[in-house]
Every structure is written in structure tokens, then in C-alpha cells.
Amino acid sequence: MKVAEMPVESVFPRLEALLPHVQKPIQYVGGELNSTVKEWDATDVRWALMYPDAYEVGLPNQGVMILYEVLNERDGVLAERTYSVWPDLEALMREHGVPQFTVDAHRPVRAFDVFGLSFSTELGYTNMLTALDLAGIPLRAADRTLDDPIVLAGGHAAFNPEPIADFIDAAVIGDGEQAVLEMTEVIRAWKAEGRPGGRDEVLLRLAKTGGVYVPRFYDVEYLPDGRIARVVPNRSGVPWRVSKHTVMDLDEWPYPKQPLVPLAETVHERMSVEIFRGCTRGCRFCQAGMITRPVRERSITGIGEMVEAGLKATGFEEVGLLSLSSADHTEIADIAKGLADRYEDDKIGLSLPSTRVDAFNIDLANELTRNGRRSGLTFAPEGGSERIRKVINKMVSEEDLIRTVATAYGNGWRQVKLYFMCGLPTETDEDVLQIAEMAKKVIAKGREVTGQNDIRCTVSIGGFVPKPHTPFQWAPQLGVEETDARLEKLRDAIRGDRKYGRNIGFRYHDGKPGIIEGLLSRGDRRVGAVIRAVYEDGGRFDGWREHFSYDRWLRACQTALPPEGLDLAWYTTRERTAEEVLPWDHLDSGLDKDWLWEDWQDALDETEVDDCRWTPCFDCGVCPQLDLDIQIGPTGKKLLPLTVVNAAPGGDASA
């Protein structure tokens, strides 16, 4: 009998007996404020949405939260959420035959039409395989039947889904709001017709829309040296290149309207509003900035309405103003002042994820902290030396940084966090040691401005990983040993300084996770065998330091890659040439490959490029190719007069 014809029952009675035996059982029970449970039989297209990480990381994820609400608003459509279960519950689920379940109604994931996973990092791939196996869904897409859901990848990592091509049925690149609704209609029509042609037919219909990538409809041919010769469609009507989805009017998509309020502690305890999408600063390492072009701002009034609705729906006491570079919104000063004025009596705090050194000003900082607590400020110079900042196109001078932190310390801040990367193209030991010098100057300036010694500066370092669809997609990655040696020198330079070292915190990751992330971010279909081997060897939660095992990944590479004539270094520390076919070339982010190559050459020449929001177009390709345009203010509107919350009767509520 087919799954679709069986009553879909909750697995909670079986799950409940296991929960007393696991850590943090509350993360599996569901029932959060603003969650949705629909009648199964009253809907005809059903989505299980997964952020492939623990509940505490996955629940606040904006992407999943938005799609959950967009889908559930539609008649006849149901969406529920599922997250990765910790190894303690996984073992019990296997022992007692409890399948991967949703937290909303505890329905088995295999019963849904679509199992959609949002990957913000490639290190979630092993968690996907765990969920598939627990759900009873064959790991290989080729082994699935009509009764298995369509396994769909989205999120930033889906811009190169080739390493997981064996395990997914489809991928969507770009914004998901309209894409999931278009897919829903295709699936609904196919089901209404009696599912003609089976699984192959519905995937073909999705592929023919031009906006859904179905790996099985493309053959990859290789050259004798291991590089890709070409990627070709193997079905008629399937496009040679698959386009990304772009939502152009953010005010038409004011989601989430009813943000989820977690039951258990999560990484972000706040209500968040995305104030704009896209970035044209042109940082060459930044995949998010490149693939989300063009810039599309939400209007100041749209932001105000979302904050008002979201606070009413949640009761949160902090509002996160999210984007890749929030202080670059053309009306950020008015937004911050308007919100601080409006919620002054309610003590609602405002936060930006991090602040660009050249976009920071004390008025903005004071508005952001007026109603909340004054915590530390975070800035991201990314590179320690002026030279390396030119290479990566991060146009921040040391003078800018020192002037900015002086202003911050002088206005009452005591803690500044600086974020850098190690292993950037052309980087030398000297470039990295400049980070120590910069941190010392920050402390010295703070002491000078405040006349006090209790100034703190934390230096946080991440390893650089070259990403697809960026100018650095051709760059060699720095090896593990070289990365660790460079960071050791930096640590010694900081800790060995008697005058300032005690006031400088130093946090860094070793080079091992970065190399594996590099393998997965620029890999092709042959890397799938490595991912599967790691999963079968017990790999789970690879994004968590305590669960990640470099030795496990190394063993898998040494087993799976040599039969293909390849090794880990071939995918990571090797520089690519201009003519090489890259595994993701058939997925169109809108960026012109020739433009990316020119920008890579500019990087090697240490040539900076301006932000095209304020200068003539640099022909990156996005706007004309996708028939789009940069959308920015100012609109000339003000957030107030919205009535001030808790204003005295008859009081003046205007700005």
C-alpha cells in the first residue's frame, strides 16, 4: 500500500517514551508560539522543511521561518519543520524504530511530498544523510520510489550542490519565497492528474521551469587529468543553465509576520527583520554578497510595520536589523532613531549583526543602544595589513579603524571585537602579524581616550575558504599546516606583548575544518563518495568543533578519491585556471564569469573596486541578465508618526 493512502499518524507516543533519556528533550516537543499545525487531509501539497543542525541553531534561521509561513498561508498547502536530532536521541530512535519526525505534528518526514533542506554551510551534509536514513528515505536519489518525497536543497551552499548530487533530487538557488510556491503548483497539478509518469515526470516538469536544478538530468564528462570537460543536459527541454530566483520587492514579502518563539534556549533570542537583501561592496571573498546581488532595500515604513507586528506576536525585547551590511541601508539613521523613539518606554533594544568600520557613527551607535544594554561593538576589517585589504577589496584603512574605535571608547564602550581571516590569497606571515599590531594600537588608543587601562579588544580569526561564484573561486586554499603555523606566530605576537597582550583576547579555529569546508564548497559529484563514507563512519554535526573529526574526513578522502585519480589537495590547495570548467558553471547566479575572472586579476594586482551603488556600473552581469536593478532609497518617508507605544493620552506622538 502506498504511503500517500495510509493515515499519517503522529510518532509522538513512541517518541515521548524516549525523551526522559536524552539531553534537552524540550527541543523535540514542538508547540512553539506562532507554530502552525494543519489537518493533513485538508491539504494536497505537503512540505517538511529542515535546517540540518540542532534545534537551538535551526529554529532562529530566517530562511526556514519565512518559507514555513509563506507555505502555511496558502490554502491546501502544509509545511512543518524538522531539525537534526542529537546522537543520543538518534541511537534511541534507531533502537525503537522511530523515524525522523517534524516538531509541529510529529509526522514522519517520509510521508511528505517535499523534504526541503536549507544549507547555509556545507558542513551540514552529513546531518542530511542522517535525517534521510532515519526517515527511511534511500540515501541515493536513484534508489527512491514514487512514495519517497522530493529531496530539495536550498540556501547558500546550494549554489554548488554537485557534492550532494547523488543524494538530492533537486536544488533551488536564490530567494525561496516565490520558488517554493511555483514548485507547489507544479507538484499539485501532477498529483491532481494521478501522478503520471511517476517520480521522473514531476522532476522533469520542475526542471523545465528553468528555476529548479535536477542533477539526474545532467551528465558530467571529465578530462583525463580529472578536470571537468563539460556538463550537458541528458533530456530534451531541460535548460543548459539553471537561473537563480530573485525577489525584487521586499515590501511585498513582509515575512516572518508571526516569528517563532522557541521553547528551548537558542543562539538568537530576538525578533529579526531583514532590512535589505544583497550587497555591492564587492568584498572578493564574500559569497553571500556576490550571489545575492542586486541590493534591494525594504522601505523604512515596511520595516516599521514588520517590527510592530513582530513584537506584538512574540514579546521579544530585542530587534535584530539584519542584512549583509545593515549600516549601509540608505535610511539606517532614520530607522534606528525612529525605532528607538517608538519603543523607548518599552526598553526594546536594537542590534546590528556587525558594523562596517566606515559606516559606523556614534549617533547610530547611541540610537542602537538607547533602550538596550551597551554590549561590545564588532567590526570586521578581515585583513591585518593595508595590502591584503586591497587584495580582498575591503576598503578600510587603519586610520579609519583607529578613529572609529577611539570614538567608541570615548563614548563609553569598553569592549571591541575585531574579526579577521587567515589564509587569504597572496597572504604572507607579515600580513597576519599586522593583526597583532592593529590590536595593540586599538588598546593604546582606548587607554589614551579614556584614561583607563580596563580596555578590552578581542581578535577573532576565521580561516578563509574559497567559495563558488566569487572572484576567489579560482584561488588556492592555504593548507592545514601553513594555517596553523601562521596562527601560532600571531598568537605568540599577541601574548608575548607585556604592555598590551593581557587586554587582547584571541580566538581562532585551526585549519582543519576550513580545509574540509573547502573540499565541500568547491567539490564536484565525485566528492559525494567522501561525504557518504564520513557519514557511515559516524560523522555528524561537523559544524560543531566537539563533533568534527578531521581524521575521519581524511580517511574517507584517502579511500574514495584515489580511484578517481584525485586527492584532498586537488580540490583545496590547487589553483584553477581561467579555462577550467568549474563544477557550478551551469548554475547561473547572474554573475558574468569573465567579470569574476577580471576581478580575480584585479585582486592579484591589489586593485580596489568601488561599490556600484554609488558609482557607475562595473558590468558584473546581474542586473541586465536577470532584468533587475539596484533598489535603494531614500524614500523621504519617516518611521514616525507611528504612535509611540505607551504614549501618555493626548501626548505628542509625532517625530
* 3-state per-residue secondary structure call for 319-378: EEEECCCHHHCCCHHHHHHHHHHHCCCCCCEEECCCCCHHHCCHHHHHHHHCCCCCCCEE
**Of 523, 524, 470, 468, nearest in space to 218 by CA:** 524
Here the cell at position 412 is: 563609553
- Report pLDDT digits (tens) over 413-444: 888 899 999 999 999 999 999 999 999 999 99
C-alpha span between 178 and 66 (Å, rounded): 11
Q: Mean pLDDT score of the chain, rounded to an integer?
A: 92
Give the other-Cβ count within 10 Å of 498's Cβ.
7
Q: Which residues contact 65 (CB under 8 A, 6 or more apart)?
A: 59, 255, 256, 259, 260
Could you tell me whether strands 218-222 and 228-233 are parallel, antiparallel, or unpaired per DSSP bridges?
antiparallel
pTM exceeds cut of 0.75: yes
C-alpha span between 94 and 292 (Å, rounded): 40
Query: How high is the pLDDT of residue 654?
Result: 34
- Report pLDDT digits (tens) over 603-617: 999 999 988 888 888
Average pLDDT estimate for 125-142: 98
Residue 4's pLDDT band (cuts 50, 70, 90) = very low
Query: How high is the pLDDT of residue 375?
Result: 67
Average pLDDT estimate for 607-633: 82
Residue 374's pLDDT band (cuts 50, 70, 90) = low
Give the other-Cβ count within 10 Å of 383's Cβ.
26
Here the cell at position 476 is: 588556492
**Three state DSSP letters for 567-590:** CHHHHHCCCCCCCCECCCCCEECC
Cα angle value 139/145/151 (rounded, 5°): 50
- Contact (CB, 8 A) for 494 and 501: yes
Query: How high is the pLDDT of residue 597?
Result: 98
Residue 265's pLDDT band (cuts 50, 70, 90) = confident
Residue 2's pLDDT band (cuts 50, 70, 90) = very low
Query: How high is the pLDDT of residue 65?
Result: 97
C-alpha span between 443 and 456 (Å, rounded): 7
C-alpha span between 602 and 51 (Å, rounded): 37
Residue 35's pLDDT band (cuts 50, 70, 90) = very high
Q: May I ask the CATH architecture of the domain 253-375+590-627?
A: 2-Layer Sandwich (3.30)
Does position 156 have pLDDT exceeding 80, yes or no? yes
- Report pLDDT digits (tens) over 36-49: 999 999 999 999 99
Residue of higher predicted confidence among 352 and 595:
595
Here the cell at position 13 is: 507516543
Residue 247's pLDDT band (cuts 50, 70, 90) = very high
Does position 286 have pLDDT exceeding 60, yes or no? yes
C-alpha span between 566 and 558 (Å, rounded): 9
In which residue are the cell numbers 549601509 written? 328
C-alpha span between 91 and 86 (Å, rounded): 9
Q: For domain 11-173+176-243, which CATH number applies: 3.40.50.280, 2.40.50.140, 3.65.10.10, 1.10.1240.10?
A: 3.40.50.280
How buried is residue 449: exposed, middle or buried, by Cβ count under 10 Å (0-12/13-18/19+)?
middle
| Helix %, strand %, coil % of the chain (to 5) | 40, 15, 45
Here the cell at position 59 is: 529554529
Average pLDDT estimate for 332-350: 90
- Contact (CB, 8 A) for 205 and 211: no
Could you tell me whether strands 587-588 and 114-118 are parallel, antiparallel, or unpaired per DSSP bridges?
unpaired
Strands (E), 119-244: 150-154, 170-171, 218-222, 228-233, 242-243
**Of 607, 502, 622, nearest in space to 248 by CA:** 622
Strand partners, 213: 171
- Report pLDDT digits (tens) over 529-561: 999 999 999 999 999 999 999 999 999 999 999
Residue of higher predicted confidence among 344 and 84:
84
Crossing angle of the two packed helices 528-536 and 125-135, in degrees rounded to 10: 60
Could you tell me whether strands 296-297 and 276-277 are parallel, antiparallel, or unpaired per DSSP bridges?
antiparallel
Query: How high is the pLDDT of residue 653?
Result: 35
Percent of the chain at pLDDT > 90 equals: 79
Here the cell at position 463 is: 580561516
Q: Which of 499-508, 606-615, 643-652 has the lowest mean pLDDT?
A: 643-652
Could you tell me the residue ranges of all domains in the chain?
Answer: 11-173+176-243, 253-375+590-627
C-alpha span between 166 and 186 (Å, rounded): 23
Cα angle value 53/56/62 (rounded, 5°): 80
Query: How high is the pLDDT of residue 6?
Result: 60
Here the cell at position 36 is: 502552525
Task: Please name the amino acid found at residue 305.
Answer: E
- Report pLDDT digits (tens) over 107-123: 999 999 999 999 999 99
Query: How high is the pLDDT of residue 53?
Result: 97
- Contact (CB, 8 A) for 3 and 147: yes
Query: How high is the pLDDT of residue 354?
Result: 67
Does position 3 have pLDDT exceeding 60, yes or no? no
